Amino acid sequence: MTEKADLLVALDTVRDPELDEPVTTLGFVSSCSVSAAGDAQVRLRLPTYFCAPNFAFLMAADAYDAVSAVAGVRHAEGLLEDHFASDAINAGVAARSGFVQSFDGLAAGELDELRTTFVRKAVLAGTDRVCRPLLAAGRTTDDLAELTLGDVPPSDDLDRLRARRAELGLPAGDDSWLLVDVVTGVGIGAEALPLHLRRARLTRVNIEGNSSICGGMLRHRYASPGQGEMQEVR
């Protein structure tokens, strides 16, 4: 029989596109449940009433898809709570309408390009997370230009970087260059390397700063932790 824990495992794969963190870890899952018959319901909450509707739609749609794919779930319902566009988003996700139809007359296009933009930012941020320990250990920037992913010591950050690169179709094998252009996948040459590393660092700092702000606003808005939330994050 499908259990709540199975839903939370599935929801761990759903990320806030801007923060590149699971909605569970961020505390965005206010509740989830599944009946003995396989009827599942997930409720999401966000840090503010005015969180960007495109980001909210992506998370709500991804959560619906993730829960629907869990073995034993015969029907899924996803509900976004306490958001100015909750009605439009919930109706659109339930009908599988897409973003444009859900916001008829207000949306210029679907969200594939937006999703890609944020995965590229996640790759840049991940690059900085992987490179900083190498530089701290005495590697030079010239050294980094010659490294492949297989040359880097194993770590969670490296696994995460590989996964994000694979999402974009960028090289992610052991023989792939550590430093690549996030659009073309071409290795970064020595001359372009300093600028690339500065962009990576700035992107990471920006994402982590936004994550901290969102976490603070969520804790101010809601007293209780989210379902599946890491307590140390609070």
Tokens of 45: 């909450």
Residue 159: other Cβ atoms inside 10 A: 11
Q: Tell me: do 97 and 149 sit in the same domain.
A: no
Check pLDDT > 90 for residue 1: no
Angstrom distance (rounded) from CA 228 to CA 234: 12
Residue 42: what pLDDT?
A: 97
Angle of helix 53-68 relative to helix 86-95, nearest 10 degrees?
Answer: 40
Question: Which of 55, 85, 109 lies at the terminal end of a domain, its last residue?
Answer: 109
Q: Tell me: do 86 and 134 sit in the same domain.
A: no
Residue 66: what pLDDT?
A: 98
Tokens of 26: 């961020």
Q: Tell me: do 168 and 155 sit in the same domain.
A: yes
Contacts with 86 (C-beta within 8 Å, 6 or more apart), sequence order: 79, 80
Summarize the confidence of residues 1-12 as an average pLDDT: 94
Q: Tell me: do 88 and 123 sit in the same domain.
A: no
The reply to whether 217 falls in a domain is no
Q: Tell me: do 161 and 192 sit in the same domain.
A: yes
Quick one: which of 4, 11, 42 has its CA closest to 26? 11
Angstrom distance (rounded) from CA 111 to CA 105: 15
| CA 142 to each of CA 63, 70, 149, 194: distance values in angstroms, whole numbers, following the listed order | 42, 46, 15, 9
The reply to whether 219 falls in a domain is no
Interval 186-206: pLDDT, tens: 999 889 999 999 999 999 999
Angstrom distance (rounded) from CA 197 to CA 100: 36
- For the chain, the average pLDDT equals 95
Domain residue limits at 187: 113-211
Confidence at 234, pLDDT banded by 50, 70, 90: very low
Give me the helices (H) in the chain, please: 4-11, 23-26, 53-68, 86-95, 99-102, 112-136, 141-146, 156-167, 193-221
Interval 59-97: pLDDT, tens: 999 999 999 999 999 999 999 999 999 999 999 999 999
Q: Tell me: do 10 and 105 sit in the same domain.
A: yes
User: Do residues 43 and 32 make contact, with C-beta atoms less than 8 angstroms apart?
Assistant: yes
Interval 21-56: pLDDT, tens: 999 999 999 999 999 999 999 999 999 999 999 999
User: Do residues 22 and 28 make contact, with C-beta atoms less than 8 angstroms apart?
Assistant: no
The reply to whether 225 falls in a domain is no
Q: Tell me: do 144 and 161 sit in the same domain.
A: yes
Residues forming beta bridges with residue 31, ordered by sequence position: 43
CATH of residue 79: 3.30.300.130
Residue 128: other Cβ atoms inside 10 A: 22
3-class SS of residue 196: helix
- Number of compact structural domains in the chain: 2
Residue 232: other Cβ atoms inside 10 A: 5
Residue 233: what pLDDT?
A: 39
Check pLDDT > 90 for residue 9: yes
